[in-house]
Structure 1
Amino acid sequence: MEARADGFPATQALAEKGFVVGAQARLLDSGETLGSIAPDQQMTPASVSKLYTAAAALTQWGPQKRFTTELRSSGAIVDGVLKGDLILDGGGDPGMTSEDYWLLVQGLASRGIHRIDGRVLASQWRFGPVTCVTTDRCDARTRTRHAFDAQLTSTAVNFATWCMRVMPGDAEGVPARVTSCAGATPLTRVDNRITTVSQGNTGISAERTTSGGKDTLVISGQIRMDSDPASVYRSSADPVEQTLATLESIMQGAGIAVTGGFSPTVSRPSSDTRVLSAVEGKPLQEQLLRMLNYSNNFMADVLALDLVNGTPTMQSAATTLDAFARDIPGHGPVSLRSGSGLTPESHTSARGVTALLDHMYHQPALFPVFVAGMQTPVNGPMNFIRRGSERFQQSVMIKTGTLNEPVPVRAVAGYFRTQSGRWGAFTVMVNGRAPTPYINWTTTLEAVASDIDVMIANH
């Protein structure tokens, strides 16, 4: 039943400041609504969209789903020489890392292969390069100061993001040392403009630029001599080229020579190829922990593309997610343009998100994995969510969503446990009407925490 709408008095104050607010909270055993504000208002959910992606993936595959990445060839192996092309068959794994590619190459070495008389081809026939649909990703094809705007492919490494480790130099005034996070030598060009200092604060800025198909990380600022190493993450302009650079470096380290070079392809490996080495990625339940805890846009959008039964595009992935949401009892209208929420054109309602949470709560085999990816503020990896009373911080499991353009979006959804141990679900979405006024997370979370804390205490 729909109870009074005054269960969110602190959140309602945000609406009175000119923001569009949608909210709903209800108990999951009885269905009693504890409060709501315009629960059917269509709003931008930002990264709360990832809850739909996680739920759809668990429903389709179950928690133990693994994606397989393979090295294939039709060539014969003669005295340690592979006579023909080696094909990397990307399996759409959203979590492939440098370590996984190292294991793939070790599979070749275990066969005694020390040379490939042919090319190494990275096949992204499943999907990739995926056409960008947001300003962030389109701009990031040439330059970026972020990691959240990574391009999408089925054949990626390290979430399509370059990682560099910055360490102080040996003396004041000398350049800092910059290495790859996965080894001593960076796999892309680095323009190191960081100076080692003995006093002052460490301050590092970085921009990835791309020209002629080549990425350069321009890293500037200063680092104190007594500082610990600092990691810098920036998305790559072409993830499959990043994968090829990673594979080439690992093969060189393993003593495997390649005569024909390294190239991308969108062709599917032919039926006469055989698997020479394969790696199964981490189970879906582990992938979702990382995707939700760190709100990883790359992982979410790749998973959404994996869900498509047909040709994977951003549009077909969105259609797949919408179909899943519309099958949820009581959900109502929805239009998700991505699995990550990076798309400001995505819309759903507070009632819809709460219906999703309710639906997953009643899936006993899936709910523990689903809720495990959310953050309990008191010990979550994101410090900004540590707001509200101690009771609130220890009694909720939440996913947040943030966008700043074209209008500010602050969204939070999740579960709470009442004083008597009952489970509840809630959703609050705050959307700006224009770029200003800006609303910060402190203001939003303190209002939400105040309202949910009362519900926890009263039940």
Structure 2
Amino acid sequence: MIRRLVVCLSLVFPLTAIGAGFSHLAQLDEEGFKIGAQARLLDNGATLGEINADQSLSPASVTKAYLAAAALERWGPQHHFTTRLVTAADVNDQGHLEGDLVLEGGGDPALASEHLWRMVQSLHHRGIRHIDGRLVISQWRFGPVACVTEDRCDARSRSGNSYSAQLSSAGINHGNWCVQVLPVGSTGDRARIVSCDNRAPLVGIESEVSTGAKDSATELYAERVTNGDGDRLVLRGNIAADDSARTVYRSSADAADQTAQTLLTLIEQTGITVEEGYALSQTPPPESSRTLASHDSSALQELLLRTMNYSNNYMADVLALNLVGSAQADLSQAGESLESFVAQLDGHGPATLHSGSGLTPENRTTAAGVNVLLEHMYRQASLFPSFVAGLQSPVNGVMRMIRKGSDSFQNNVMLKTGTLNQPFAVRSVAGYFRTQQGRWGVFSVMVNGSSNTPYLNWTKVLDPLAKDLTAMIESH
């Protein structure tokens, strides 16, 4: 009956009102989902498909396309973020640093343990053997950042995932603890838990993982919990005796504190002693400080490729916080920086952006607006290669769920997806396509649920979208 009504309406209303060009995707409207979609060519601006393209909806991680564009226009593809080990103290003839050693966080979203290790080696090469003062972690640019999403707020006390990491300009390893689980001995024996980047785990371990029989299923449960004794990983389950090591990531409760513990351990492993332990700071190092060691991040274009391809929320929000440019930035200011960027895009219209990651469900934009952004970047000859590199091709993208549809869809589309499940389902996808005649186009689709439509499988969005885009690609 509903399908008959849709056919009848098509005789009365313009086809764009019910999904011209998106005939397959439009069927989701019958199930109660809100849909905003638009596809158009870039050479002549012709609209090939449209459904409520000006409806303001949640884009989820498609927000990262705004972040990538704003970052590229602010800094350019070859920008680096520098992390420094500095001091205002002297080093005496016995190799004593007569004061504090300060790690000045530079807002590097991909800073990792191995980078700290190389900086520590530089200290040793300089002849430093003892630090009379403290190791100070300076997160003066931003951190700790107030949580604005339920996931990140909950993760201050416990976390069962890696994406809800706390944010800091001096964070490492995407704000995550990492351990490996290895089978040991025979069936029933306790599995071995080792650190991914230290001789022994820095985080507390509570494990009841046992070694299972060969060819059995490996089933692991892991949660990080925090109390007065600090972070602790709670692990349960079993790992097959013939299985390889399984890596587990869980977000830490305090990114800067995680950095401090890791760096202090690396310093001591190098043979340098620290007299007074470590401290966290929100103030810059003294102006008289000099650099003892430093690390430059990968170029921005490489950071964005990782941020976009893997939809890394930590990296996206750290980059967005860097856009603020003032001390002790918070996510609301980061959102304002992104909104200021959007305001400069002719024809975009208003957008609400509370984060660079899209984790904030309050983010709002339109399908037409996303396409304005995509066209804007397409016409930036010096920036477009770095921007489009962050999108995935369905035929070989890192996300298996997008590997579907016709050959035309698989090989002629570059896209970014976005997913939220709370407080309502969001499935969004946007990017570029090339027609069989070699013409470039942009497309954007946002599907939002409600309390009446709490679940939405990606297949129900990607399958009809692939059919609709295939028709556009093959007919132009």
Instruction: Please state which band the TM-score falls in when normalised by the shorter chain.
Output: over 0.9
Normalising by structure 2, we get a TM-score of: 0.94
The 4+ residue runs of structure 1 with deviation greater than 6 A are none
Residue of structure 2 equivalent to 1:8:
22
In structure 1, the partner of 2:282 is: 266
1:245-294 deviation per Cα after TM superposition (whole angstroms, max 9, x unaligned): 11012112211110111111112111111111111111101101110011
> Which of 25, 47, 63 in structure 2 is aligned with 1:49?
63
1:313-324 → structure 2 map (5 Å cutoff): 313-324=330-341
Match of 1:329 in 2: 346
2:72 equivalent to 1:58: yes
Structure 2 unpaired stretches of 5+: 1-13
Please say if 1:412 is aligned against 2:429: yes
| Residue 70 in structure 1 maps to residue 84 in structure 2 | yes
Q: Provide the rounded CA distance (Å) in 2 between the counterparts of 1:341 and 1:15.
A: 23
Once the two structures are TM-superposed, the CA of residue 107 in structure 1 deviates from its matched residue by 1.6
Q: CA RMSD in A?
A: 1.3
52-61 or 109-118, which deviates more: 109-118
Change (3 A) 1:298 1:435: farther
Distance across 1 between alignment mates of 2:432 and 2:308: 14
Letter of the aligned partner of 2:148 in structure 1? V
Please tell me whether the aligned partners of residues 3 and 33 of structure 1 are also in contact (alpha carbons under 8 angstroms).
Answer: no
**Kept in 2: contact 1:3–1:35 (CA 8 A):** no
Q: Distance in 2 between matches of 1:137 and 1:421?
A: 44
Question: Which of these residues, 383, 387, 394, is aligned with residue 411 of structure 2?
Answer: 394
Q: Deviations over 1:147-198 (max 9, x none)?
A: 1111011000000011111111122111111111113411101111111011
**Structure 2 residue 464 is the aligned partner of structure 1 residue 447:** yes
Q: Is the 8 A contact 1:3 1:32 kept in 2?
A: no
The whole-number CA distance in structure 2 between the counterparts of 1:183 and 1:250 is 8
Indicate the SS of the match to 1:102: helix
AA partner of residue 392 (structure 1): F
SS of aligned partner of 2:20: helix
| 1:153 matched to 2:179 | no
Contact 2:424–2:454, Cα closer than 8 Å, also in 1:
no
Q: Are residues 325 and 157 of structure 1, via their aligned partners in 2, closer, same or farther at CA, if it must alter by over 3 Å?
A: same
Q: Which residue of 2 aligns with 1:230?
A: 246
In 2, the alpha carbon distance for the partners of 1:165 and 1:389 equals: 39
Aligned equivalents of 2:257 and 2:208: distance in 1?
A: 25
**Matched ranges for 1:27-426 at <5 A:** 27-78=41-92, 79-199=94-214, 200-212=216-228, 214-311=230-327, 312-426=329-443
Shift of 1:326: 1.6
Q: Supply the AA of the counterpart residue of 1:401.
A: G
Once the two structures are superposed, residues 380-425 of structure 1 have per-residue CA deviations (whole angstroms, 9 ceiling, x without a partner) of 1111111211221111111100000111000000111111111111
SS at match of 2:341: helix
Larger radius of gyration: 2
Residue 314 of structure 2: SS of its match in structure 1?
helix
In 1, Cα distance between equivalents of 2:338 and 2:222: 35
Aligned length: 458
- The amino acid across from 1:316 in the alignment is Q
Cα displacement (A) at 1:46: 0.4
1:6 counterpart SS class? coil
C-alpha distance in 2 between matches for 1:437 and 1:120 = 48
- The alpha carbon displacement at 1:323 in A equals 0.9
**Distance in 2 of aligned mates of 1:341 and 1:299:** 12
Distance 1:435 1:382, change over 3 A: farther
TM-score in terms of structure 1 length:
0.98
Q: Which moved more, 1:265-274 or 1:60-69?
A: 265-274
Structure 2 CA distance for aligned equivalents of residues 97 and 408 of structure 1:
33
Map of 1:26 onto structure 2: 40
Matched residues in 1 for 2:200 and 2:369: separation? 48
